[in-house]
Chain A
């Protein structure tokens, strides 16, 4: 059973089509990055997965329909939106009491263990904590739940770089194992690149790329072309070309590395560069590649 199985997922807000037929299949044990520009439909897709909004099309999460079974689903799913959703009046101790009281999978000593490594005090109210500490608190609560799926929607928005880095490090070191699945949306691509097993690009409500990181490495290659090789390389149909310090940098999709080998240095392009290549629009060669 896949963790998330969406087919033809659609969501309309008035005249705007936020999701335009999204097909998405996420297996257990994966860390999937949902990446797209503002307004691409990332949050809408996650909200549908969490049962927060009704939708058209087929969608099951852990075998359930999230819209009709949100309460059951939330016993196995955790969710962090951006940092500002913890109730500001709540004390840390109350948050622990409440989680213990309503969540069958919540392990209080574990949460207290995570909190002991921070400067957060049990008697503090959320409104007294900094943004970064609030994120730490929410993460501690979530990591103490034995959840099968963790959904993160721009979880580090508004945090400084130290907290952002620590957030993902903690997640990877103390939480993730291969029985869990994480779906994370962000537009700060470079920050999550190294933790992902799969990447999904969304643009205007559609999936434009859905690959595992292994397949990604085989599929995309960036050539830093030598002056002589640039023209030849261009004839092979790069999906994107830019110039840096006078050199031509070209990204290829599905082109054999052997054919490019003599034309310059080859490397696997960063997600951000491929993102720009796929989303940029109007780039030379984009139509050819598509």
Chain B
């Protein structure tokens, strides 16, 4: 018997997800590329804007902010559809029989898929945003120089220090916030035979409808909307209240964010749903 090599099932399980779903990194890159393209056209007017006095609503930061937002929204969308297909596709194309013939546990498999939606996707988004914004800064500086304007007049107006602090911080909060949603989608993906999207969203909406008609209250629908759409508000507004966006370093309040019962409650629910998903995959076969 030859000495057994060291293996890394979790790492390779994540790698194989990226092979199967290149959209995880291509979609953020695509969104960033569109942002860059729009920005490229706008540089025609850049030199004049930099040479002019600073207006009250300075829009020089707009391409940076909108590109970041677009990449993040696309990222969450890709994660949602990825999670919905992650445990469904392998049953539909019968490859689950191949995966299960290898010494990789259901726990490793499910956690790798969760990590792709919750960790790899935000990291890909972050990389795409940083890349695009760096290119924007460099191109802006060159355009301004070529037009004979002092770049020192540009740089203070596109100060990235706050944005480059808030982005990783906000993406982390957003990922934690969305963890129960991703775990729920994985559970449905491993359970439903078809129409995973409908199974994922129709029953909660039906519950909300029932609640509204039976008790004339709206807890469920608010909980759903808050959990699905509230991540960015939680991440990028002051104290996660969704009113004022974070505008200065003093607005960043990690102690408040990480002591939020909504974050921890959500993570607990995510843990429970993942445990169910792992347990279910053990007895799942091709469909």
Interface string of A73-93 (1 = CB under 8 A from B): 111011111001111111100
A86 touches B98 (CB 8 A): yes
B12 touches A97 (CB 8 A): yes
Chain A positions near chain B (C-beta within 8 angstroms): 47, 50, 52-54, 70-75, 77-81, 84-91, 94, 97-107, 138, 146
B103 touches A75 (CB 8 A): yes
A102 and B104 in contact, given A81-B97, A85-B98, A97-B12 (Cβ under 8 angstroms): yes
**A244–B218 CA distance with the chains assembled, in angstroms:** 80
Residues of B within 8 A of A100 (CB): 5
Residues of B within 8 A of A72 (CB): 103
Q: Which of B12, B98, B100, B286 contacts A70 (CB 8 A)?
A: B100
Question: What are 12 inter-chain pairs, A to B, with CB distance below 8 A?
Answer: A52-B97, A54-B283, A70-B282, A71-B103, A74-B102, A87-B95, A87-B99, A88-B93, A89-B19, A101-B15, A104-B7, A138-B98
**A158–B203 CA distance with the chains assembled, in angstroms:** 41
Residues of B within 8 A of A89 (CB): 19-20
Residues of A within 8 A of B94 (CB): 84-85
- Whether B11 is near chain A, meaning CB under 8 Å from some CB there, is yes
- Whether B16 is near chain A, meaning CB under 8 Å from some CB there, is yes
A146 and B19 in contact, given A74-B103, A104-B103 (Cβ under 8 angstroms): no
A107 touches B2 (CB 8 A): yes
Count chain A CB atoms within 10 A of each CB in B8, B16, B102, B282 and give the residue with the most.
B102
- Whether B138 is near chain A, meaning CB under 8 Å from some CB there, is no
B105 touches A71 (CB 8 A): yes
Residues of B within 8 A of A53 (CB): 283, 285
CB of A287, distance to nearest CB on chain B (Å): 39
Apart from A71-B103, A104-B4, list 12 A-B contacts with CB within 8 A: A50-B100, A52-B97, A52-B100, A74-B103, A75-B103, A87-B20, A90-B16, A101-B15, A102-B8, A102-B9, A102-B12, A105-B4
**A77–B103 CA distance with the chains assembled, in angstroms:** 9
Q: Which of A47, A87, A106 contacts B98 (CB 8 A)?
A: A87
A52 and B12 in contact, given A78-B101, A99-B102, A104-B7 (Cβ under 8 angstroms): no
Count chain A CB atoms within 10 A of each CB in B2, B94, B283 and give the residue with the most.
B94
- Whether B225 is near chain A, meaning CB under 8 Å from some CB there, is no
Residues of A within 8 A of B285 (CB): 47, 52-53
CB of A47, distance to nearest CB on chain B (Å): 8
A179 nearest in chain B by CB position: B1
**A96–B16 CA distance with the chains assembled, in angstroms:** 12
**A103–B99 CA distance with the chains assembled, in angstroms:** 11
Residues of A within 8 A of B237 (CB): none
- Whether B43 is near chain A, meaning CB under 8 Å from some CB there, is no
- Whether B13 is near chain A, meaning CB under 8 Å from some CB there, is yes
B101 touches A79 (CB 8 A): yes
Residues of A within 8 A of B13 (CB): 102
B101 touches A102 (CB 8 A): no
**A88–B13 CA distance with the chains assembled, in angstroms:** 16
Within 8 A of A (CB), among B119-160: none
**A182–B102 CA distance with the chains assembled, in angstroms:** 17
A94 touches B5 (CB 8 A): no
Residues of A within 8 A of B15 (CB): 97-98, 101
A101 touches B7 (CB 8 A): yes
CB of A77, distance to nearest CB on chain B (Å): 8
Residues of B within 8 A of A86 (CB): 95, 98
**A47–B95 CA distance with the chains assembled, in angstroms:** 15
Top 5 A-B pairs, shortest CB-CB distance:
A101-B12, A79-B101, A87-B95, A71-B105, A104-B4
Residues of A within 8 A of B106 (CB): 71
Residues of B within 8 A of A138 (CB): 98
A50 touches B101 (CB 8 A): yes
Interface string of B72-104 (1 = CB under 8 A from A): 000000000000000000100111111111111
Count chain A CB atoms within 10 A of each CB in B1, B93, B283 and give the residue with the most.
B93
Within 8 A of A (CB), among B51-88: none
Q: Which of A73, A85, A94 contacts B19 (CB 8 A)?
A: A94
**A78–B100 CA distance with the chains assembled, in angstroms:** 10
CB of B82, distance to nearest CB on chain A (Å): 14
Q: Which of B96, B97, B102, B105 contacts A103 (CB 8 A)?
A: B102
CB of B107, distance to nearest CB on chain A (Å): 8
A68 nearest in chain B by CB position: B282
CB of B101, distance to nearest CB on chain A (Å): 4
CB of B147, distance to nearest CB on chain A (Å): 48
Residues of B within 8 A of A52 (CB): 97, 100, 283, 285
CB of A32, distance to nearest CB on chain B (Å): 18
Residues of B within 8 A of A85 (CB): 94-98, 286
B108 nearest in chain A by CB position: A71
